[in-house]
Structure 1
Amino acid sequence: MPITDILLLAVLVVLALQVFILLRKSGSHELGARLDALKDDNERLQRTLREEQRAGREELQQGFDRFRNHVGEQLTGMSRQQAERIDGFGQRLAALTDSTSAGLQTLAQRLADDARKSREELTLALNRFGEQQQQRLGALTADNEKRMGEVRATLEAKLGAIQQDNAAKLEQMRATVDEKLQSTLETRLGQSFQIVTRHLEAVQQGLGEMRNLATGVGDLKRVLTNVKSRGIYGEVQLGALLEQMLTPDQYESNVATVPGSSERVEFAICMPGQQDGGRLYLPIDAKFPVEDYQRLLDAQDAADADAAALAGRALELRVREEAKRIAGKYVAPPHTTDFAVLFLPTEGLYAEVIRRPGLFENLQRDHRITIAGPTTLSALLNSLQMGFRTLAIAKRSSEVWSVLGAVKTEFGKFGDVLDKVKKKLDEAGKHIDATGVRTRAIERRLRSVESLTEDEADDLIGAVLPSPGTDDEEDSET
């Protein structure tokens, strides 16, 4: 708020107070006169205040004008000084640039002179070094030629002596070798005749073994060409695998898997059934279609594609028929599994059957028959053996749970016994506390009684109370 407004308010307040005082002290006529006087004073005061305000504004405007002029003059002077300094700096920079350029030119000239002198000195030094090396090489070459001549002469002399010595020694060795060769030749010829005789005997023996082997091969061929013999061969191999991989109670032979049927499968794996004590059979039958397989091998060896394709289709048809026959004779859920295993006794036959496109999947889908070779059947039997072990562990785990249940029951009884013992101990503790109270009461009563020495006390009550050692002996005896 400006000072003039403050003064005006103060004047108005003073006038109001004067009017109030005058109203209390005088009448209406005097009040009117005084009001007129106050009005005149007020008008004069207002004019005075307006004049002072106008004068103050004029002074303030003049002060602002002087300040603006002063600031403008200072800025002009500073600009002029700054321009002068910039001009001086430019002149100094130009002088520095000129001096630097001159110095660089001088330095470049000096460097060029030094480089030229260095090249000249290096050229002279290299020329001197080349001349020195040429001289040294010439001297070294002459020295080497001289030494090589001496070495050559020495070597020729020594080689001549060595040749003469070697000729004499060779003549001596030839005579010695002729003598020893004659005796050795006679000895070796005799030994060679003996060795040849033994070898002929061994060859004769080998021919006899070859005849026996040919006889065995013929017998094997007759076995493989006989249907019954082939079946026995596959059955024997299957039985050997089962005997190696499973225990006797885990499989059976010649089993009637279908109730009321006379058809018996060669082998069946005994698997746990759904009911306790029941059995579920997995039928396994061995087949060996050697004629079809042999025709296929002969066609492949002869590189006859048509014959090989025909023999392959015949083999595939034979395997399908055998799978269908096994499924119809031996698979009867829930007495058996819903699938059976067709065992092929050789890996080559198994590989050829597996190689037929879609045959393995079709047999599983249409007839629920799984084809297995020796290696595949071993893996299957190993998996079943692991399953049997897992089942045995599960059965034993149920027994363990039963034992744990019994232990839990006994542990509950043991907890009851512990609670009873705790109660008895608490009661004994209470009795001991009561005894301690009585003991302290007796001690308070006996404080006024004079104590005796240990000897006197022993004399008085030793015969009545037993000694601590006697108590221990009695306790140990009891």
Structure 2
Amino acid sequence: MILDLSDPATLGALGAGALALLLLVVVLAMSARLRDLSRAQAQLTGTLAGLADAQARAEAGTAAALTDGAARTAASLGALQQRLAAIDAAQSRIEDLSSNVLGLQDILSNKQTRGAFGEIQLHDLVAKALPPDAFTWQATLTNGRRADCLIHMPDPPGPLVIDAKFPLESYEALLAEPSQTTKTAFRAALRTHIRAIADKYVLPGETADGACLFLPSEAIYAELHANHPEIVREGFVARVWIVSPTTMMATLNTLRAVLKDHRMREQAGDIRRALAALGRDVELIVERAAKLESHFDQARRDVEGIATAAERAGRRAERLDAFDFGEEAAAKPRLAPVIRRG
């Protein structure tokens, strides 16, 4: 069969078939494209699901890390707050200590308050070592001078004066600038103070032939003996003995022993009378004990006599029970031994 291309119907049929074929090709291509798009969409969906899971895991890890970091941060902040509180407390204590040091410096910079400061330390030492009636504070002597402390020692040596003031200014100048000038000034101040004590408080017939200079600082005492021994020797010559808190306590213990010995010697007569009375009491006890022993001996003999009579009465009861009325041989009395006393 031959197609007539000049025939419009034939051309129309051919055009329609080509168009149908083209449409079929397009449909097939679209179907393949849709299948590819479906597979791509499925893959994209899996990828998105994986990304969502990874994002969820990342968010969970981030949240846990943030929570842990927040906890550590809170703990660090708490520890920091505690340390800051401790620093504040330490700063407060340092401020209090600084105020106390400034107060002590103010006390020691004034002669009157410095003397009171030394008297407080001396008061504590004396009150611990001696009985209350063995000393007097601020005692007035016949020359009108007031002694910081007067120990009532027996004669000899007599009442002992203890001075509680000390030249601090020259010592502070020596510490601030240790030079020959400050050393000379320190020695001069001590010599002047030693002479003043000897003139004021060493009164023949009224006080002891010496006095004590109390230094409430072991540092000054060590400085004197280490670097200024000539001052200590001059004090010995002037009969002014320089003492520190440690040596003051040893001196007070020695004075207490002297006072105790003196009071014992004063009370020796009373002690002898008390011992004599005690001896008489002991003799009376011995005498009464001897009498009591003799009473015990008599009671023992009486008990032995009672036992003998009871034994004899028992034998007679046995004979009566056996209807034996014969003569009973007289039993020899049992005599208790006689205790002779020399």
TM tier relative to shorter chain:
0.5 to 0.7
Alignment of 1:352-431 (within 5 A): 352-355=223-226, 356-365=228-237, 367-404=238-275
Which amino acid is the alignment partner of residue 222 of structure 1?
D
The answer for the alignment partner of 1:191 in structure 2 is 75
Q: Give me the whole-angstrom Cα distance separating, in 2, the residues matched to 1:189 and 1:313.
A: 64
8 Å Cα contact 1:255-1:264 kept in structure 2: yes
Contact 2:167 2:193 in 1 (8 A): no
Give CA-to-partner distance per residue, 1:122-175, whole Å, 9 cap, x none.
Answer: xxxxxxxxxxxxxxxxxxxxxxxxxxxxxxxxxxxxxxxxxxxxxxxxxxxxxx
Offset from partner CA, 1:253-304 (integer Å, 9 cap, x none)? 11123x3x21111101111236xxxx9310000122221111111224xxxx
Q: Indicate yes or no: 2:209 matched with 1:325.
A: no
In the superposition, the TM-score normalised over structure 2's length comes to 0.58
Q: How far does residue 201 in structure 1 lie from its aligned partner after superposition?
A: 3.7
Residue 144 of structure 2 is matched in structure 1 by 262
The one-character-per-residue Cα deviations of 1:416-465 (angstroms, maximum 9, x if unpaired) are x9xxxxxxxxxxxxxxxxxxxxxxxxxxxxxxxxxxx988x9xxxxxxxx
Q: 1:402 Cα shift?
A: 3.3
Which residues of 2 match residues 27-426 of structure 1 at below 5 A? 183-257=67-141, 259=142, 261-273=143-155, 280-300=158-178, 307=179, 309-355=180-226, 356-365=228-237, 367-404=238-275
RMSD, aligned α-carbons: 3.5
Matched length: 232
Deviation at 1:200, TM superposition (A): 2.5
Flag the 1:287–1:354 CA change in 2: closer, same or farther, 3 A: farther
C-alpha distance in structure 1 between counterparts of 2:158 and 2:199, whole Å: 17
**CA 376–180 in structure 1, closer or farther in 2 if over 3 Å, else same:** farther
Which of these two proteins has the greater Rg computed from alpha carbons?
Answer: 1
Over 3 Å counting, the alpha-carbon distance change for 1:273 and 1:192 in structure 2 is: same
Residue 287 of structure 1 aligns with an amino acid whose one-letter code is K
Aligned counterparts of 2:159 and 2:264: Cα–Cα separation in 1: 21
Q: Compared with structure 1, are the counterparts of its residues 410 and 197 closer, same or farther at alpha carbon in structure 2 (3 Å cutoff)?
A: closer
Mapped to 1, the partners of 2:277 and 2:135 lie a distance apart of: 36
In structure 2, what is the Cα distance between the partners aligned to 1:403 and 1:197?
75
For each residue in 1:337-370, what CA deviation from the matched residue of structure 2 results, as whole angstroms up to 9, or x when unmatched?
10000111100011112231322122211x2110
8 A Cα contact 2:137 2:148, kept in partner: yes
2:235 aligned partner, one-letter code: L
Query: 2:139·2:146 contact (CA, 8 Å) conserved in 1?
Result: yes
Secondary structure of 1:272 counterpart: coil
Is this contact kept in 2: 1:255–1:265, CA < 8 A? Answer: yes
Which residue is 1:4 aligned to? none
TM-score norm. by structure 1 comes to 0.43
Q: Deviation at 1:379? A: 0.6
Alpha-carbon contact 2:171-2:220 (below 8 Å) kept = yes
Higher relative contact order (CA 8 A, sep 6+): 2
Shift of 1:215: 3.0
TM-superposed deviation, 1:250:
1.0
Could you tell me whether the CA contact under 8 Å between 1:237 and 1:345 is conserved in 2?
yes
SS of residue in 1 equivalent to 2:177: helix
In the TM superposition, residue 408 of structure 1 has moved relative to its aligned partner by: 7.8
Alpha-carbon distance in structure 1 between the residues aligned to 2:266 and 2:219:
41
Conservation of the 8 A alpha-carbon contact between 1:316 and 1:353: no
C-alpha distance in 2 between matches for 1:329 and 1:454: 113
Equivalent residue letter for 1:402? R
Q: Once the two structures are aligned, what percentage of the paired residues are identical?
A: 30
- 1:454-473 equivalent positions in 2, closer than 5 A: none
User: Do 1:225 and 1:291's aligned partners in 2 also have CA atoms closer than 8 Å?
Assistant: yes
Equivalent-residue separation in structure 1 for 2:79 and 2:282 (angstroms): 88
- Counterpart CA distance in 2 for 1:192 and 1:408 is 84
Separation of aligned partners in 1, 2:279 and 2:80: 88
1:167 maps to none
Could you tell me how far 1:185 is from its partner in structure 2?
3.6
Counterpart-to-counterpart distance in 1, 2:209 and 2:219: 28
- The alpha carbon displacement at 1:247 in A equals 1.6
User: Distance between the aligned counterparts of 2:132 and 2:236, measured in 1?
Assistant: 28
2 CA distance for matches of 1:346 and 1:454? 109
Offset, 1:202:
3.6
| Paired residue type of 1:210 | I
* TM-fit CA distance, 1:210: 3.2
Counterpart in the other structure of 2:314: none
Amino acid at match of 2:262: L
Inter-CA distance 286–180: structure 2 relative to 1 (3 Å threshold)? same
